[in-house]
Structure 1
Amino acid sequence: MGDLDDFDDAFEDADSLGTPEADSLEATALPDPGPSFAPFLTEFKVALQKGTARRLAAPGLSAQDFAAVAEDDAVRQHVLAAGVERYRREGTRREVYVVVGYDAEGNVVPEDEAITESAVGLTFDVVDGAYRLVRIERAG
C-alpha cells in the first residue's frame, strides 16, 4: 500500500497544470448579463395598464405597431397575462408571442374554438443600459 506522503505529493502536483502556459493564463471575465428583465417586465405591464407604456419603447418604434398592443384590449390582456417564464431568451433579448382567437362574430374566444386568430410578437432588448420594447410583429 502506498504511503500517505506519496499521496500528498501527488495531490500537490495535481494543483499545478504542469504546462508552461499555466502561469500565463489570465482569468476571463464573464460577459455582462445586462439589467434584470423581471423588474422591467413588471414596470412595462403597469405602464401598459396605465396607458404610459410608450415611454418604455425604443425610439423609432412605430406608433401604429405600438397601437396594436396598447389599444387592442384583447392583445393587451394576453400580454399582461404572459408570465416572465413565457419570454424566450437570447442574450439580453426577450421575446413573447401572444395569440388571440376570434369567433365568426369577432368575439374573443379560446384558441381551440377560434375561427380566426391574431398574433402579436413583442421583442425587448437593452438600449442605452435599460430594457426597451424594440419591435412589435403582427400577424393575422
Structure 2
Amino acid sequence: MEYKQSDRQGFFNRLYVHFFLYAVPQLSAVALVVTFGDDSRASLWQSAVLLIGFNLAFALWLLLFNSGNGRVEPFSIAINHDQLTVTEFGRKRTIERQHFGGCKIYSGYPKQVRLCNHKGQDIHFSYYAISSAQRAQLFKELGCDSR
C-alpha cells in the first residue's frame, strides 16, 4: 500500500511544521529583544512578516509549481511485505519488516509519528504529512495506537 501527500495536505503540513519549528522560537527571541531593548516594535513586525512571508512563499511555490516531469514527491509512505519506505523530497528511508518495532505518536509541537526500527535508525515524520483518512488507514495497517 502507498500513502501519498496531496498538494493541499503538503501546503498545510509545511505551514504547521515551519510555524512551530521556526516562527515561534524566532519571534519569541525578537519579542524579548524588543521588550528589553530601546528598539521600536517595528522590528518585531518586520521579523514576523519576513518569517511568515518566507514560509508562505515556499509552501505556495511548491503548491503551484511542483508539477510535470520535474515534480518532486514531497512525502510518501510505501508498505509491502518486505519493508516500509518513507520518501521525503526524494530522500528514501527504509525499515525492513523484520526490524519494524511499531510506531509511536508524539503529541508535542509539532506533533510527530515515529516508526521504530530495532536496528536503531527510527524514522520520524510530521503527523499531518498525510490526510486524516490516510493516517487512520496507515495506523490500522501498522497496528499503531492512534491516540
- TM surpasses 0.5: no
Indicate the TM-score class for this superposition, using the shorter chain for normalisation.
under 0.3
Larger radius of gyration: 1
Q: TM-score, normalized by length of structure 1?
A: 0.27
Which has the larger helix fraction?
Answer: 2
